[in-house]
């Protein structure tokens, strides 16, 4: 993952620090910055979140050139030595890198044989050591030609005030005006600073100064790179909330209302008028929560009479399937930058499939590379755990399945059908907080359900483990007795999910089996358990409202995970070992 940023202009320390704060969601193991002024490098590095760098920085208002990096460790432990920027042997060139250099062992062996020494363990330092002195476009090209893997690279040479760059498979954007230049992993860093920006494509490299931008591809200079307008950003604060995760869960309802308003105003037929017909199969593809959204949606497409399957992006190359020119491949990704999903898209493009994406970032790589993009419009999601974006993914996929089934239907039909689904009651957070506290000491938490509820259980377990670090798993309730029941003792707590009356008695039987072995069971239900309530230790009822009633259950599970994390003293917005955008394979 990692976030990189480069800048030429006044107050570079401040601009780069502010930029790193915006990029921190991409990794927060350590942060570093190098500033070049009057032929001299000044470097700052610090372990931990970007704020830890602030106290070390010497802010200077004068003109300077700088590059900075916030790290999510891939190769080598979290240490100052492994923190970027990295330097070549004579310390005349430094660089920051986002990505993974797959052949770095071979390159390193070769460099060692040629007398180069290393201070750290990263693949990025190997790239730095490949440079002698005197950076030129030609040298950048010859170095990157030897790299296998993914990279967005920014490089500085002590002897000039240019920033050199190269990009392959990891995002890189450039913006400039008469007074300043910025290069970064995320175009949102430009908002309110520049009017427009350029998106670099794979295989491009070049250099930029205050007066000139040169971009090359395959040894040829690119004449007119496409320019995109920057957004005016709204300040995103916590408001009355203590964490972004809780705030973002709270925004779910307004995100869904906004989506309905959008479909209503534009008309679904208009929005999808360029979407081809006649697909023989729908293939949903994503990672983590996005994959879980795809699993739920698979049921919607099957109900709409379409042959459908859901594949983990990272597994697509290793599974059997028949993706071809008759397939509609749907790539689900909040960030739009997930490397596994991008790679899966390449795989499907090679098989001539039609690629539709569902992203929350309109300029993202996945959105740009697909034939058709649906903008989730869920608003910026800052917390690492996906909440409102996950629910929005499920919702937009529901609409898409509806559209593919009823190509000629009017938006009114749809609105009538779904309005009730989101008119859900606010969930009583206090009850959920109470359960979180009560079952906090459990050594094992697991989620069960039947049918679509077992897919919700999967998302519940993912959310809980990623932010509270508790071992959590999920399974269809009927599977318990086939092995996992062996794990149950008095320290185990089960969250049973039920949104279908027909499954309640089966869930109750599983609850009895768990309780007979000392485990506790909480039922999260949108159906009345009646006399079966006694089969559970606790019951949380969630208002049911039509087919989209899963929204309430999703929110309840997200809040449960949130409160468990808080009570265990974990930071749910920035859980350990994770990053918001997973831009490595
Ligand atoms: O940006 P994406 O939606 O492609 O990200 C996919 C997963 O990395 C993501 O959903 C991850 O599982 C979340 N942290 C889950 O909360």
pLDDT in tens, 300-353: 999 989 999 999 999 999 988 899 999 999 999 999 999 999 999 999 999 999
Report the nearest atom of ligand 1 relative to the CA of 334.
Answer: 3
Pick the residue with more confidence: 267 or 562?
562
What distance in Å separates the CA atoms of residue 85 and residue 4, rounded to the nearest whole number?
10
Ligand 1 pocket mutation pick from 466, 582, 584, 585 by most atoms within 8 angstroms of CB: 582
* pLDDT at residue 258 is higher than 80: yes
Among 2.30.30.100, 3.40.30.10, 3.40.50.10490, 3.10.129.10, name the CATH number for the domain at 244-422: 3.40.50.10490
CATH number assigned to the domain covering 3-229: 3.60.20.10
Is residue 364 within 6 Å of ligand 1 at its C-beta? no
Ligand 1 pocket mutation pick from 26, 290, 467, 583 by most atoms within 8 angstroms of CB: 290
What distance in Å separates the CA atoms of residue 192 and residue 171, rounded to the nearest whole number?
20
Report the nearest atom of ligand 1 relative to the CA of 385.
Answer: 16
Whole-number pLDDT of residue 570: 96
Q: If you take atom 12 of ligand 1, which residue's CA is the nearest one?
A: 288
Is 429-567 in the same CATH topology as 244-422? yes
Pick the residue with more confidence: 539 or 423?
539
Those residues with Cβ within 8 angstroms of residue 314's Cβ, 6 or more apart along the chain or in another chain = 287, 340, 344, 585
Spans of all domains in the chain? 3-229, 244-422, 429-567
What is the whole-number distance in angstroms between the Cα of residue 539 and the centre of ligand 1?
29
Torsions phi, psi for 542 (to 5 deg): -120, 130
Report the nearest atom of ligand 1 relative to the CA of 389.
Answer: 3
Is residue 292 within 6 Å of ligand 1 at its C-beta? no
Query: In this structure, are residues 122 and 86 in contact, taking their beta carbons and an 8 Å threshold?
Result: yes
3-state secondary structure 256-313: HHHHHHHHHHHCHHHHCCCCCCCCCEEEEEECHHHHHHHHHHHHHHHHCCCCEEEEEH
What distance in Å separates the CA atoms of residue 250 and residue 528, rounded to the nearest whole number?
25
What is the whole-number distance in angstroms between the Cα of residue 336 and the centre of ligand 1?
10
Query: In this structure, are residues 391 and 255 in contact, taking their beta carbons and an 8 Å threshold?
Result: yes
Catalytic (active-site) positions = 2, 580
What is the whole-number distance in angstroms between the Cα of residue 334 and the centre of ligand 1?
7
pLDDT digits over 36-55, tens only? 999 999 999 999 999 999 99
Is residue 459 within 6 Å of ligand 1 at its C-beta? no
Is residue 335 within 6 Å of ligand 1 at its C-beta? yes
Is residue 287 within 6 Å of ligand 1 at its C-beta? yes
Is residue 289 within 6 Å of ligand 1 at its C-beta? yes
Is residue 573 within 6 Å of ligand 1 at its C-beta? no
Give me the mean pLDDT over the 147-158 stretch.
96
Encoded tokens for 450: 């039947």
What is the whole-number distance in angstroms between the Cα of residue 113 and the centre of ligand 1?
41
* pLDDT at residue 418 is higher than 80: no
Encoded tokens for 571: 């930071």
Q: Is 237 left (phi over 0), alpha (psi -120 to 50) or beta?
A: beta
Q: If you take atom 11 of ligand 1, which residue's CA is the nearest one?
A: 288
Burial class (CB in 10 A: 0-12, 13-18, 19+), 181: buried
Supply the mean pLDDT for the chain: 91
Cβ neighbours, 10 Å, residue 233: 14
| Cα 10 versus chain centre, distance | 32
What is the whole-number distance in angstroms between the Cα of residue 581 and the centre of ligand 1?
7
pLDDT digits over 125-136, tens only? 999 999 998 899
Is residue 357 within 6 Å of ligand 1 at its C-beta? no
CA nearest to 401, candidates 366, 381, 374: 374
From residue 556, give the alpha-carbon distance in Å to each of 118, 141, 385, 398, 552: 50, 52, 14, 20, 6
Give me the mean pLDDT over the 199-214 stretch.
95
Is residue 365 within 6 Å of ligand 1 at its C-beta? no
Is residue 582 within 6 Å of ligand 1 at its C-beta? yes
- The pLDDT-based confidence of 279 (bands split at 50, 70, 90) is very high
* pLDDT at residue 217 is higher than 60: yes
- The pLDDT-based confidence of 402 (bands split at 50, 70, 90) is confident
- 3-state secondary structure at position 166: strand
Q: If you take atom 9 of ligand 1, which residue's CA is the nearest one?
A: 288
Is residue 386 within 6 Å of ligand 1 at its C-beta? yes
User: Number of helices and strands (H, E) in the chain?
Assistant: 17, 25
Encoded tokens for 76: 């080598």
Whole-number pLDDT of residue 581: 81
Which CATH fold would you assign to the domain 429-567?
Answer: Rossmann fold (3.40.50)
What is the whole-number distance in angstroms between the Cα of residue 287 and the centre of ligand 1?
6
Whole-number pLDDT of residue 179: 95
What is the whole-number distance in angstroms between the Cα of residue 502 and the centre of ligand 1?
32
Min mean pLDDT across 29-33, 74-78, 147-151, 281-285 is at: 74-78
Is residue 341 within 6 Å of ligand 1 at its C-beta? yes
Q: If you take atom 4 of ligand 1, which residue's CA is the nearest one?
A: 333
Whole-number pLDDT of residue 584: 74
What is the whole-number distance in angstroms between the Cα of residue 476 and the centre of ligand 1?
22
What is the whole-number distance in angstroms between the Cα of residue 233 and the centre of ligand 1?
23
Report the nearest atom of ligand 1 relative to the CA of 289.
Answer: 10
Longest CA–CA span in the chain (Å) reads: 80
């Amino acid at each position: 993952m990692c976030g990189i940023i480069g800048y030429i202009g006044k107050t570079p320390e401040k601009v780069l620090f502010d930029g790193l704060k915006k990029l921190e969601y991409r990794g927060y193991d350590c942060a570093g910055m190098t500033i070049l002024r009057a032929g001299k490098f000044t470097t700052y590095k610090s372990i931990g979140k970007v704020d830890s760098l602030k106290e070390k920085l010497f802010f200077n208002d004068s003109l300077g050139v700088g590059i900075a990096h916030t790290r999510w460790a891939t190769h080598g432990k979290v240490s100052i030595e492994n923190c970027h920027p990295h330097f070549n042997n004579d310390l005349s060139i430094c660089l920051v890198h986002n990505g993974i250099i797959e052949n770095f062992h071979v390159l390193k062996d070769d460099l060692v044989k040629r007398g180069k020494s290393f201070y750290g363990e990263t693949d990025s330092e190997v790239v730095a050591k490949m440079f002698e002195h005197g950076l030129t476009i030609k040298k950048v090209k010859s170095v990157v030609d030897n790299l296998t893997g993914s990279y967005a690279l920014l490089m500085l040479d002590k002897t000039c005030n240019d920033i050199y760059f190269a990009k392959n498979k990891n995002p890189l954007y450039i913006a400039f005006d008469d007074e300043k230049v910025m290069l970064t992993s995320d175009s949102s860093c430009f908002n309110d600073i520049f009017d427009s920006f350029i998106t670099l494509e794979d295989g491009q490299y070049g250099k930029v100064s205050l007066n000139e931008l040169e971009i090359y591809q395959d040894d040829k200079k690119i004449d007119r790179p496409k320019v995109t307008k920057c957004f005016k950003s709204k300040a995103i604060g916590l408001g009355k909330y203590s964490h972004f995760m809780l705030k973002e869960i709270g925004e779910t309802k307004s995100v869904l209302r906004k989506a309905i308003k959008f479909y209503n105003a534009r008309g679904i037929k208009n929005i999808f008028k360029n979407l081809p017909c006649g697909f023989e199969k729908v293939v949903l593809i994503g990672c983590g929560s996005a994959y879980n959204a795809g699993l739920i949606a698979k049921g919607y497409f099957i109900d709409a009479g379409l042959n459908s399957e859901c594949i983990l992006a990272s597994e697509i190359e290793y599974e059997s399937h028949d993706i071809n020119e008759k397939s509609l491949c749907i790539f689900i990704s909040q960030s739009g930058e997930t490397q596994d999903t991008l790679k899966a898209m390449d795989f499907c493009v090679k098989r001539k499939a039609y690629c539709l994406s569902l992203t929350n970032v309109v300029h993202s790589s996945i959105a740009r590379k697909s034939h058709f993009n649906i903008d989730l419009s869920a608003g910026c999601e800052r917390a690492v755990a996906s909440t409102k974006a996950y629910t929005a993914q499920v919702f937009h996929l529901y609409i898409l399945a509806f559209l593919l089934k009823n190509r000629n239907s009017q938006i009114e039909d749809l609105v009538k059908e779904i309005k009730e689904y989101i008119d859900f009651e606010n969930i009583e957070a206090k009850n959920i907080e109470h359960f979180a506290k009560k079952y906090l000491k459990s050594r094992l938490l697991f989620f069960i359900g039947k049918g679509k509820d077992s897919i919700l259980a999967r998302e519940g377990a993912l959310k809980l483990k990623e932010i509270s670090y508790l071992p959590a798993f999920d399974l269809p309730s009927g599977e318990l007795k086939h092995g996992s029941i062996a794990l149950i003792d008095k320290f185990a707590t089960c969250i049973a999910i039920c949104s279908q009356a027909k499954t309640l008695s089966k869930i109750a039987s599983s609850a009895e089996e768990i309780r007979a072995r000392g485990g506790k069971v909480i039922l999260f239900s949108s159906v009345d358990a009646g006399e079966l309530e006694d089969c559970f230790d606790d019951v949380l009822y969630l208002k049911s409202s039509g087919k989209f009633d899963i929204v309430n259950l999703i929110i309840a599970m997200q809040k449960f995970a949130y409160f468990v994390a808080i009570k265990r003293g974990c930071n749910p917005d920035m859980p350990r070992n994770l990053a918001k955008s997973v831009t490595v394979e």
